[in-house]
């Protein structure tokens, strides 16, 4: 048999090379290649597997387990799926351990839960439990970092859920690399995925986020798991958003909202009320839009500030909305609306640290900018949504009726919407202003 040679794996991106080199060709990281022992070629005889017929597969194992936190359950797609692997990423200190200890405590009332801590001592976990008022819960806590030992413990205990806090602290005996390196993270995760799929135990992995904002370790981690959630917040804000970016068992882009309090995370069940700041009176540059995140509509406030440029290069900055989209909107406003912002700095922000990725934010952002430019407010009881096309047309967005219903529920009385989104019958006590061109829409910008 040919002698297998070592491979060199980039710790930053997971690329493999036959020889060591100073810089990774794939991601450009320096000094990131480490030697990895070759995987021994399989010497056992291979036996044929027996496939199952699609119509005979038992789906009952998919019945969901609720975590007791409805916001988390919704983001998961209706609760935890047995045998699923979920990755939760987020900055240090955002509240990942807090969230999971709360969920574990809820779950432990009816089922067994194993909470594995690789970062904190048992005492620290217990202190947090006291603070959260869940110290009486029957969560099994294990302070360990060896993935083989953890998997063996879980396999013999057979809990409903194993929580690993965090995946970057785990080490496998199969490898010599340090904890937190790409190879260790990948190996540990793959052993836990095997455990989940083989035993039906749900596994939640906590993953740290790097400076660049992705979960440290290889991107492959995101491919290995069923669900990827990000836990995020605005700097200095108590609000915490949990967002599904991938979900094999539910809608991606779903968000759950929590507030961090002295006694842990509290669910925010009516987030629309939070992301809309209640000014005493209408102010220029503020527009409320109905966004749709995942499966529910959400009211968020889009703010713009337009001011004389402070330098020869006017600034365009957007927080919570895509930067390129803003440049595009300003070009459309000029070409099709006759509004020039060439000599102006333009800042756009979505209140509360929400990120809106959908094009329904186009019209609100445009109206907010023009309202600020003209220094004329848009009436406070007005909501808006709609996509802006390069030809100056206002295009419809999905779920128009549902968005209007949410606006009515929250007490709004006027809606500026794409003409194609105007319902045939009045959806309720709201005046619909249907617009089909940018020029017409700007008449309503204060």
Nearer to ligand TYD, 240 or 395 (CB): 240
Nearer to ligand TYD (CB atom), residue 95 or residue 377:
95
118 binds ligand TYD (CB under 6 A): no
Contact predicate 321/364, CB 8 Å: no
- Closest separation in Å from C-beta 129 to Mg ion: 13
Buried (b) or exposed (e) across 1-40, using 16+ Cβ within 10 A? eeeeeebbbbbbbbbeeeeeeeebeeeeeeebbbebeeee
CB-CB contact of 254 with 244 (8 Å): yes
CB of 93 to ligand TYD, least distance (A): 4
> How many angstroms separate the CA atoms of 289 and 301, rounded?
6
Nearer to ligand TYD, 206 or 370 (CB): 206
Number of residues that bind ligand TYD (CB under 6 A): 15
Question: Which tokens go with 438?
Answer: 């940018």
Calpha distance 186→189 (Å, rounded): 5
The entry of Mg ion, ligand TYD, none near residue 93 (CB within 5 to 8 angstroms by kind) is ligand TYD
- Determine, following the binding rule CB under 6 A, whether residue 207 of this chain makes contact with ligand TYD: no
Helix axes 147-157, 182-199, angle to 10 degrees: 10
Smallest distance, Mg ion to C-beta of residue 254, A: 23
The answer to whether 112 touches 157, Cβ cutoff 8 Å, is yes
**Quick one: 208 or 325, whose CB is closer to Mg ion?**
208
DSSP state of 244: E
Residues 32-91 that bind ligand TYD (CB under 6 A): 90
Minimum CB–partner distance for residue 90 and ligand TYD (Å): 5
Residue 159 CA to its chain's centroid (Å): 27
Task: Give me the torsion for CA of 313, 319, 322, 326, rounded to 10°.
Answer: -40
CA 319 – CA 363 distance, rounded (Å): 16
Asked if 128 interacts with ligand TYD (CB under 6 A), we say yes
Nearer to ligand TYD, 263 or 401 (CB): 263
Residue placing its CB nearer to ligand TYD in the complex, 102 or 286:
102
Q: Which is nearer to Mg ion, 17 or 131 (CB)?
A: 131
Instruction: Report in angstroms how near the CB of residue 68 gets to ligand TYD at its nearest.
Output: 16
Residue 43: how many CB atoms within 10 A of its CB?
A: 6
Which residues bind to Mg ion, rule: CB under 5 A?
97
Tokens 């009385």 locate to: 413
Contact 232, 241 (CB under 8 A): yes
Q: Which of residues 250-279 bind ligand TYD (CB under 6 A)?
A: 260, 262-264
C-beta closer to Mg ion: residue 163 or 241:
163
- Cβ atoms 225, 85 nearer than 8 A: yes
The distance of closest approach from Cβ of residue 94 to Mg ion in the complex, given in angstroms and rounded to an integer, is 9
**Least Å from the CB of residue 113 to ligand TYD:** 17
271, two tokens: 């987030």
- Nearest approach, Cβ of residue 443 and ligand TYD (Å): 47
Judged by CB under 6 A, the chain residues 82 through 101 that form the site for ligand TYD are 90, 92-98
Binding-site member from 17, 64, 131, 374 for ligand TYD (CB under 6 A) = 131
Q: How many CB atoms lie within 10 A of CB 116?
A: 25
Supply the minimum distance, in Å, between the C-beta of residue 133 and ligand TYD. Answer: 9
User: Given the complex with ligand TYD, which of 86 and 97 has the nearer CB atom?
Assistant: 97
418 binds, among ligand TYD, Mg ion, none (CB under 5 to 8 A by kind): none
Q: For residue 186, give the 3-state DSSP assignment.
A: helix
Which residue ranges make up the site for ligand TYD (CB under 6 A)? Answer: 90, 92-98, 128, 131-132, 260, 262-264
């Amino acid at each position: 048999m040919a002698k297998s040679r070592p491979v060199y794996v980039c710790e930053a991106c997971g690329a493999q090379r036959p020889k060591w080199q100073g810089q990774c060709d794939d991601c450009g990281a320096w000094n990131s290649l480490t030697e990895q022992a070759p995987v021994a070629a399989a010497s056992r005889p291979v036996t044929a597997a027996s496939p199952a017929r699609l119509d005979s597969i038992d789906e009952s194992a998919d019945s969901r387990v609720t975590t007791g936190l409805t916001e988390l359950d919704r983001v998961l797609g209706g609760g935890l799926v047995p045998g699923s692997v979920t990755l939760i990423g987020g900055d240090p200190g955002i509240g990942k351990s807090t969230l999971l200890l709360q969920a574990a405590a809820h779950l432990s009332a009816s089922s067994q839960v194993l909470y594995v801590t690789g970062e904190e001592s048992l005492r620290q976990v217990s202190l947090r439990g006291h603070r959260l008022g869940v110290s009486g819960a029957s969560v099994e806590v294990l302070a360990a970092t060896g993935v083989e030992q953890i998997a063996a413990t879980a396999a013999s205990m057979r809990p409903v859920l194993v929580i690993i806090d965090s995946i970057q602290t785990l080490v496998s005996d199969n490898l010599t690399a340090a904890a937190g390196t790409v190879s260790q993270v990948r190996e540990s995760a793959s052993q836990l995925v095997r455990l989940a799929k083989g035993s039906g135990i749900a596994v939640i992995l906590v993953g740290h986020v790097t400076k660049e904002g992705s979960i440290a370790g290889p991107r492959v981690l995101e491919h290995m798991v069923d669900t990827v959630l990000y836990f995020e917040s605005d700097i200095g804000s108590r609000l915490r958003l949990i967002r599904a970016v991938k979900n094999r068992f539910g809608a991606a882009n779903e968000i759950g909202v929590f507030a961090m309090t002295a006694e842990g995370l509290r669910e925010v069940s009516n987030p629309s009320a939070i992301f809309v700041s209640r000014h005493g009176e209408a102010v220029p540059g503020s527009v409320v839009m109905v966004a749709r995140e995942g499966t529910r509509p959400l009211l968020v406030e889009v703010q713009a500030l337009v001011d004389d440029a402070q330098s020869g290069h006017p600034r365009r900055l957007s927080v919570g909305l895509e930067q390129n989209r803003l440049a595009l909107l300003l070009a459309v406003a000029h070409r099709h609306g006759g509004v020039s912002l060439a000599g102006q700095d333009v800042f756009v922000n979505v209140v509360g640290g929400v990120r809106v990725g959908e094009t329904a934010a186009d019209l609100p952002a445009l109206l907010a900018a023009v309202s600020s430019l003209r220094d004329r407010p848009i009436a406070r009881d007005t909501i808006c949504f709609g996509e802006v096309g390069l030809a100056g047309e206002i295009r419809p967005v999905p779920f128009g009726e549902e968005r209007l219903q949410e606006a009515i529920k929250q007490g709004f009385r006027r809606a500026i919407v794409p003409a194609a989104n105007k319902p045939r019958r009045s959806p309720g006590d709201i005046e619909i202003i249907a617009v089909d061109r940018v020029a017409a829409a700007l008449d309503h910008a204060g």
